[in-house]
A and B are shown apart, each in its own frame.
Chain A
């Protein structure tokens, strides 16, 4: 396996006595596309929230590219190079698509209050570079024609793609995608496969995605991790995981599993 890019060591989180994540260990290699699947309530989104700092873990560690990031503020963790998208669209409604993308470069720009307010040359220059980068990122995801549209005028699926572009623009090490394929029609799904692969291959970004669309997970992921009730119950290549009896049981229940293996 390649160098570890993102690792969780013995992560545990409980909300009011309910153990949401229980001693989770995870190792994602550089340039890997890792899928996280599991039934509703398995703790998938909590896992992402732990990684990006929204819920610091009760115990355990999060290691990004060799650096411990446990307990840092979400904005600090983002600055270290973890981008993410959310289950619901979090496009900034009051901005155009282009401006949304420009926000993605926030962590890589430095203009301060005075420079911005006085419109100093350094600020103008940075602003031009930001816009250039935003246009390139839009081109990368094939949405240049929407640059000047207000974000909320896009379809749900398009908004998700813009959000992905917004995280890519700052050249993150890892991007966490929370159900990115929700709202995509079936024929756009294969385009989406391609996009995820291009993100990995052209941008060198490690991807961690939660997904319910099993087809997408099986097609695009190098490794799949299955969570159930806060525990990892299987971990490995997609086709190995697919036939793992404990996975089938988690999804279908015991009785159905018997029928499943009988048929």
Chain B
């Protein structure tokens, strides 16, 4: 079972992703790119929801703000994608940070409702501020050129997304094994105890909201560019449910779970694309099954049955002197783990 450790599985997935463009047709490449984007969204949302425990419903709106920001800066100012894209993400982050203010006073359902109201408000702005957002019909964004590099938009964007996903998932993994990630969990598990240990609630709530908005903003910029089109309905309530589903199916409070959850949901939705109507039924059923029977998501099942998927909340100390005996041929690692 050692071969199925998280490190190996993730490395294998990365290899597949690296060489996929060689074999895949444009549709398959599109789906893979879509998975990257949703991995960003679900990892970011999990930081806020699963780690910091803030039941917020504005992630789809942040996704939209990233997409609109990136698209509109290109269209209105004529700035290139590679400038507009980070700016769009920063705008989303700034808006996300302000959401931490209500979160300081509200929790649970009330926070959910107020952030939901905020998300509906952004929808309204996308729809009705026609002079800027082009209203319900949406707008087209220009093709991006990766000029000196010999790649077209599709492949360039694919590798850009892949690089960003790897970097940002790695960043999130590091974060949750540090004092910052643990501070998020103190806020989730007991606010009074968190404060009694010197954790500033405003600071860490703002950090969680800002981070998840940044992840969503980056995802939004990539998404708008991949479609070369932005319209309000891509960032509505269904989008929010989709992202929540990924986090729940993958596993709350698990970065690896978010990666798997995003991949699973995107693949299920794409496989069912041929069967109109089945998509929503299966999607709903999936959510129900996970909420009733598998509260911990896919990751909890994996953690139970396969060693090497544990996610401690501290960095396991590097003990170089402890490693060689385990690797020596006299004690094959397979035996040590044989029992499980």
A107, CB-defined interface residue at 8 Å: yes
B303, CB-defined interface residue at 8 Å: no
| B182 and A95 within 8 A (CB) | yes
Name A83-124 residues within 8 Å CB distance of B.
83-84, 86, 90-96, 98-99, 102-107, 109, 111-113, 116-119, 123-124
Given A116-B180, A128-B317, does the pair A104, B171 have CB atoms closer than 8 Å?
no
Give Cα A99 to B185, complex, Å.
11
- Does A19 interact with chain B (Cβ within 8 Å)? no
| Bound complex: CA A250 to CA B175 (Å) | 53
In the complex, B179 has a CB within 8 A of chain A: yes
Report the count of interface residues on A (CB-CB < 8 A). 45
B198 in contact with A107 (CB, 8 Å): yes
Q: Is the CB of B171 within 8 A of A130?
A: no
Is B285's beta carbon under 8 Å from chain A?
A: no
Whether A96 touches B312, Cβ cut-off 8 Å, given contacts A123-B178, A131-B317, is yes
Q: Is the CB of B174 within 8 A of A75?
A: no
Interface residues on B, range: 20 to 34
**In the docked arrangement, what's the CA distance between A95 and B84, Å?**
40
Contact with B along A223-258 (1 / 0, CB 8 A): 000000000000000000000000000000000000
Q: How far is the CA of A18 from the CA of B335 in the complex (A)?
A: 68
Alpha-carbon distance between A186 and B162 when the two chains are bound, in angstroms: 60
Q: Which residues of A contact B177 (CB under 8 A)?
A: 127
Given A103-B197, A107-B197, A118-B174, A94–B188 Cβ distance below 8 Å? yes
The A interface is mostly helix, strand or loop, or mixed, namely: helix
Q: Mark A53-70, 1 if CB is under 8 A from B, else 0.
A: 110000000000000000
Q: Does B199 contact A (CB under 8 A)?
A: yes
**Interfacial residues of chain B within 112-160, with CB under 8 A of chain A in the complex:** none
Q: Is the Cβ of A95 less than 8 Å from the Cβ of B178?
A: no
Min CB gap B201→A, angstroms: 7
Q: Which residue of A lies closest to B168 (CB)?
A: A117
**Are B196 and A167 in contact (CB-based, < 8 A)?**
yes
Within the complex, the shortest CB–CB distance from A17 to chain B, in Å, comes to 24
Chain B nearest CB, measured from A19 CB (Å) = 24
Contact at A130–B198, with CB atoms within 8 Å?
A: no
Contact between chains at B171 and A103 (CB < 8 Å):
no
Chain B residue with Cβ nearest A85: B196
Contacts of B211 in A (CB 8 A): 113
Bound: A107/B312 CA distance, A: 21
- Is residue B270 contacting chain A, with contact meaning CB distance below 8 A? no
Distance (Å) between the CB of A158 and the closest chain B CB?
16
Chain B residue with the shortest CB-CB distance to A132: B317
Q: Answer yes or no: A79 CB below 8 A from chain B CBs.
A: yes
Query: Of A76, A118, A124, A166, which one neighbours B197 at CB under 8 angstroms?
Result: A166
Interchain nearest-CB distance for B165 vs A (Å): 15
What are 24 contact pairs spanning A and B, CB under 8 A?
A: A74-B196, A75-B198, A75-B201, A83-B197, A90-B193, A91-B193, A96-B312, A99-B312, A103-B182, A106-B179, A106-B198, A107-B198, A111-B179, A116-B174, A116-B179, A117-B178, A119-B178, A123-B178, A124-B315, A127-B178, A127-B315, A166-B197, A170-B197, A170-B198
Not counting A54-B192, A86-B192, A96-B312, a sample of 17 additional A-B residue pairs whose C-beta atoms are within 8 angstroms of each other reads A54-B195, A74-B192, A83-B197, A90-B193, A90-B196, A92-B185, A94-B253, A94-B313, A103-B179, A103-B197, A104-B197, A107-B198, A113-B175, A116-B178, A116-B179, A117-B171, A119-B174
